[in-house]
Structure 1
């Protein structure tokens, strides 16, 4: 048989795989075929979700299981030898792989990122490089020049037999870290979005360094008890009896892995500085979780711990690197050696996408000026001035505003899912308590059945804190709604959180990212594939900020440039009070004793703060505007008119109505084309919502891009029935086609294209899937009939 007639898979089997194996690559341990390395982006369509296409490499070659070093993109022999190179290069960049090959079965085009003189060359099939030759080039490229460095890099991952392996970006972060340490770097920063497995990544780094005996004593530092407990019970549990948590005043120095919170190591008095019971050289490696918090500040007690153990290799982990006038992670740790952003996580399908509903209240958007003689609830006259959104719940409480916010949250949940786990972020503890009460009144039917339906979970409230684990537990029904101020901004792994409500001013980008991160985890088992943000304070304006998903930019002046002393910019500085989960005590001051930032709401000042607020009622509060924000393919909000934005996007893709019709009719499956449009940034679901939910996307595109009058799906289905073209089919097949038309009218084209439609009514009432297919004379004839049905549906006069 001519090579030109072979499929791509045949080319792989008959030519590419034998060439790889002849070069010395072991089929069982050193190369994988058809490797999917992303999960496929999740697209939200109303309440339904679909997955986009996974990124898949034809071959990935590994020197060892933890070290991918080459990628091959295969094409059939009708293509040239290098036709797969551009796609292979894109994948190689994502996977951090230096050696890239393209092949059509005749030979290979080799792209060598390590060769600055001749970056590409063609090779015959028998010239494919051996594992050893590529490994030698790899080591030179990465600066692995000593036997000790090679020992560090080659150490295998920890495998527990569960089948869990690091995802590609975790693998990149781990390998880059080990390579940096092997090259002598001792300060390392990893930036990974919330929900992407920073602790698992840290464990694999620690395990490989510990197992290779490169680092014998390791300290994992966090700032919350819950984070330490989560780490001990979770990813670090495999260290077993080699691990301990530092809690007591007298430390046991016989362990190899230590977990601790900063405040357990430090104190305002010298004798309380437990970390000094260790010698400065005791730890070889320190991993700092959430290092954007206190450790970023030069004058903090947290930094004192790191400075004391300065001989140790120190790795900072964060989703939100702190860069401001007075604080810089990159100045301490150096520039991040690897960054995996929220946008990347969503695009890859590892993180949940979000929908944003913005609700603007009249008093927030227009401001509130009290009428003459207006008094608060104690009878005191209210100062005559304009109060705005930043004042509400900070210095002024409007009772009707709280009630309306609670009402809109309840209204949304009733139309969505009343048992969707929801976090309501409030201005402070007092606001969180008032919101809890207002929500309880709005949901009295469910609260009367179980008072834990709504709980305030804040640092000062023991009952609420005890319910934090239940809120996080996917199997626990209650609590459903948690009102909070600061306690749940970090360290809360709430996989099933489906709704985040923002009713607080959020000045810090760091804090905003942390809050959004509470919803980004996916839990397919429990139906959590996306989450909704309800924004009452325009906090989601930060999505439009270039810094939201960009690389951190160092803005802190070096000492020779400026002497700023201890000036703190509240908009940039994370002034979140640190509340110890066990005691409820605000411990921010003891962590930054030299000159702490102003803490807005320590738990012990709760009552005092409440008394200082003006509380009024009898105010007309209403919703001025409520709309869903839509985002482009880069994750930025669409600020122009949705119709105009979509028209431009569609006309860039389809230059005429005729071109669109040709592409639409040629598509084997319309669902694939619809998903492609969504992947390219066309707001498919938003268009259907905005124009007419009962219309097909076909009509929406014709209407928006080419000003055609749209038909509803029902009108299209009826038009087909009037043509009576079914007469060429037998009675059973005619009934099935009529049922499929009804299904199309109700639900759209994607459903009738799926073979699953044969298993549901009304189609299933005409027999089993096999019987229905046989009524058309077999599967090819059935598929042909579906294609003809689509052609009939999309006829344009």
Structure 2
């Protein structure tokens, strides 16, 4: 890029970073901004959306701000976007405003080095103005206007200016975590005492809670804090990991003992409440003992008006109370917002996937014939135990609740195994079942069908449920990325919330899920990313039509709507959440339980088959592609290229054909998946496959295209050894698509190495790089040329 030097009229070629260092940074230093604590350059805000192609992934572009200005680390005030002198000073303003909105700051600056333009969102009469570098505002000026904008003029500055915890490592909050932390601290400093934060599973709610507590505690605003959760693993993970810096000031309430000498308390609500009055040990604390209570996963027990959690919250009513959840729930009788108020910040699953912080997913849905068509027993049908099966039509919701079809369980286990064998047999997998007994039967079938892998290690498949001590003992190993075993966990409810299984690549739904809250929590077990262990996306295998909930308007972050039944409607909400296991009174082999106590019939001889299978993917806008991939591809291509001529023009003009494929991949079109849907699709060139799907053109295989080109005598115009090189490239194309033609590294392989090194071939055979690229480009043009 070219910039005009300020002295002497000499034109210099400077990079954008040179402009920043020569002109922008000096302007900031002159205005009193501190290099070490208040200025950050090239700030990466997002990780770049993960794009899935078959089993391969790539990253989309990251969002990166040229400068972010801070009052102090993690308390941002302004964004600066820098452009070269060939652009106007305001050219980067729209980009700066986008980043300012992401960071929740009121000041966006754009500059070309000569002058600055400020967009001020604090509400003054002048929204945008241009000024010279010498007039850049100081930190104090912007902080005073920021405080006025956020209504912080009357609050204690020691609270909102309190430092974040910093252990000296490179770890710092992501942009949305800082936003949630800062907004919570600001609202508490203003006197708000009921707050709700909604953050998708896997986005760091516990770390966010820790920083909120740390800043309020260190500032002296809140001296005694209670962190509540309903799962022991949630409390232990917090105590061992994110909350560890509290050290000796922190304790976990156990064995129903109370020691009032600590400042930070972590507890299960079960540990401080009970069915008897004397079991409510939270009352051993005075009602004013705690200044702050954080309720993790507050969509669960605390949302109900008459729940025991609500008793605890109401007892400590004088404390500031903050609810954390990935899935706020709103029904007639259960409400987060009624108690905590509307969320002060929401970071949704869709936004997390778009930013590249959460794993995208594809859905493999199986419709089983008995599920879709139903099953009715013939007269006098008896089950495995000799009990006569009630004569009625059993449908999907009945299976594994009131009627067990052994062949159905075997079929599910078979399809799960086929998927793992086709991808990676050691991919961490959670199979969600109807209840604990179903989880045990599923474990048995998976063991039988994976007997070779089980012989390697008996922990290949484990049931991990609330009543199974041996299984629960393996939970830490299951969620540990470094531990290979267990690989497959069968469960019902235990793993549906709070368990941080970063490397889980397969979620199997063989459980009826009607609650949006439960569905979000269950899907959340797969949304975490672990690049070190190659976990960048996950698959949902659905045997119960649960993924139809993706179509619900409430799926992405919004609360489930309040249920307003009419006279004809049932009294209970249709998605009444199951919060307990189904009673496990069904006998296993050898049990002798009377038929009058049995909840289930067991039939071993009813055949079950797959009626249909569909694979679904996320589109570029984060929505699930519900039509077939063929239909979606046609719609997507023809939206951008209305006619075949338009597409041919783009294909011909592209220096590298892979660029066209990458463009389509960014819109959700997976070439690998498309080939699996189109008959003989794996043999077609990408060009033929796309033209066939989008415009109905007859398709040729790569081999047919290569043979047609040879038949036209195309290579006759080339002398040896150029002809040998190009003919070899065509052979590579026939077998491997156009990538070898476009990637010069192919010249390192046989048979090219017999002609010379890549440098020698390019220089001696084609007269240099440009000559080689022209020959390759002409080869591709001729390869895709349409017959007259």
Task: Provide TM-score, normalisation by structure 2.
Answer: 0.90
Match of 1:575 among 578, 581, 588: 578
Aligned twin of 1:583: none
Shift of 1:191: 0.6
Residue 446 of structure 2: which of 439, 458, 476 is its match?
A: 439
Cα displacement string for residues 162-186 of structure 1 (whole angstroms, at most 9, x for unaligned residues): 2111111111111111111122111
Q: Which whole-Å deviations, capped at 9, do the CAs of 1:587-613 have from their partners, x for residues lacking one?
A: xxxxxxxxxxxx633799998798321
Given the superposition, is the C-alpha separation of residues 415 and 135 from structure 1 closer, same or farther in structure 2, using an over 3 Å criterion?
same
CA displacement 1:626-656 (0-9 Å, x = unmatched):
1212343333333445434332322221233
Query: 1:710 matched to which residue of 2?
Result: 699
The Cα of 1:95 is off from its aligned counterpart by: 2.4
Secondary structure of the residue that 2:683 maps to in structure 1? coil
Structure 2 contact 405–606 (Cα < 8 Å) conserved: yes
Of 624, 627, 631, 2:614 maps to: 627
Name structure 1 gaps, 5 residues minimum: 578-598
When residues 250 and 537 of structure 1 are mapped into structure 2, their CA distance, relative to the original with a 3 A threshold, is closer
- On the 8 A contact 1:740/1:763 being kept in 2, the answer is no
Distance 1:765 1:265 in 2: 78
Determine whether 1:125 maps to 2:133. Answer: yes
Which position in structure 1 is the counterpart of 2:164?
Answer: 157
CA deviation string 1:663-688 (max 9, x = no partner): 34444554444333333344555434
Q: Does 1:381 align with 2:388?
A: yes
Instruction: Say whether 1:613 aligns with 2:620.
Output: no
Distance of aligned partners of 1:127 and 1:698 in 2 relative to their CA distance in 1, 3 Å threshold: farther
Note if 1:83 corresponds to 2:91.
yes
Residue 590 of structure 1: aligned partner: none
The equivalent of 1:140 in structure 2 is 148
d(CA) in 2 for partners of 1:223, 1:74: 49
Aligned partner (choices 336, 339, 343) of residue 332 of structure 1: 339
Is this contact kept in 2: 1:717–1:741, CA < 8 A?
yes
Q: Is the 8 A contact 2:295 2:321 kept in 1?
A: yes
CA contact (8 A) 1:505 1:539 kept: yes
2:373 is matched with which residue?
Answer: 366
Aligned match for 1:693, one of 682, 706, 709: 682
Match of 1:391 in 2: 398
C-alpha contact 1:328 1:556 (8 A) present in aligned 2: no
Aligned counterpart, 1:110:
118
Q: Find the aligned partners of 1:106 and 1:81 in 2 and give their Cα distance.
A: 7
Deviations 1:357-399 (A, max 9, x none): 1111110010111123322223333222211001111111111
Paired residues of 2:464 and 2:475 also in contact (CA < 8 A): yes
Cα shift at 1:551 = 2.1
Aligned length: 768
Match of 1:449 among 445, 453, 456: 456
In structure 1, which of residues 54, 59, 75 is the aligned counterpart of residue 62 of structure 2? 54
Q: Residues 262 and 568 of structure 1: is their aligned pair in 2 closer, same or farther, counting only changes over 3 Å?
A: farther
Any conservation in 2 of the 1:6–1:76 contact (CA below 8 Å)? no
Distance 1:726 1:289 in 2: 74
Q: Using the alignment, how far apart are the partners of 1:516 and 1:496 within structure 2?
A: 14
Aligned twin of 1:505 = 512
Matched, 1:290 2:297: yes
Deviates more, 1:71-80 or 1:51-60: 71-80
Structure 1 residue aligned with 2:192, among 177, 185, 195? Answer: 185
Which of 536, 560, 566 matches 2:543?
A: 536
Is the contact made by 1:109 and 1:123 (CA closer than 8 Å) also made in structure 2?
Answer: yes
For the aligned residue pairs, the C-alpha RMSD in angstroms reads 3.1
Deviates more, 1:359-368 or 1:640-649: 640-649
Change (3 A) 1:563 1:534: closer
Q: Which of the residues 617, 621, 642 maps onto 1:655?
A: 642
Alpha-carbon distance change, 752 to 118 in structure 1, aligned in 2, over 3 angstroms: farther
Classify 1:159/1:576 alpha carbon distance in 2 versus 1 (closer, same or farther; 3 Å): same
Query: 2:355 matched to which residue of 1?
Result: 348
Aligned partner of 2:7 in structure 1 is: none
What are the Cα deviations for residues 123-168 of structure 1, in whole angstroms up to 9, with x where unaligned?
33333322222111111111111361x2212222212222111111
> Following the alignment from structure 2 to structure 1, what is the Cα–Cα distance between the partners of residues 84 and 451?
65
Whether 2:49 is the aligned partner of 1:41: answer yes
Given candidates 427, 431, 435, the residue that maps to 1:428 is 435
> Is 2:321 aligned against 1:321?
no
Q: Name the CA shift for 1:2/1:436 in 2 (closer, same or farther; >3 Å).
A: closer
Determine the C-alpha separation between the residues in 2 that align with 1:766 and 1:188: 72
CA–CA separation in structure 1 for the residues paired with 2:366 and 2:465: 25
Shift of 1:459: 0.8
Deviation, 1:472, is 0.9
Over 3 Å counting, the alpha-carbon distance change for 1:542 and 1:72 in structure 2 is: same
CA distance in 2, matches of 1:773, 1:232: 61
Measure the CA separation in 2 of the matches of 1:714 and 1:272: 77
Residue 601 to residue 510, structure 1, CA distance change in 2 (3 Å): farther
Match of 2:481 among 474, 486, 489: 474
Note if 1:600 corresponds to 2:582.
yes
Partner residue of 1:587? none
TM-score (norm 1): 0.89
One of 217, 228, 234 as aligned partner of 2:224: 217
**Residues 643, 477 of structure 1: alpha-carbon distance in 2 compared, 3 angstrom cutoff:** closer
Which segment drifts farther, 224-233 or 750-759?
A: 750-759
Q: Is the 8 A contact 1:460 1:603 kept in 2?
A: no
Indicate conservation of the 8 Å contact 2:71/2:77, yes or no: yes
Where do 5+ consecutive residues of structure 2 fail to align? 5-10
Distance 1:293 1:694, change over 3 A: same
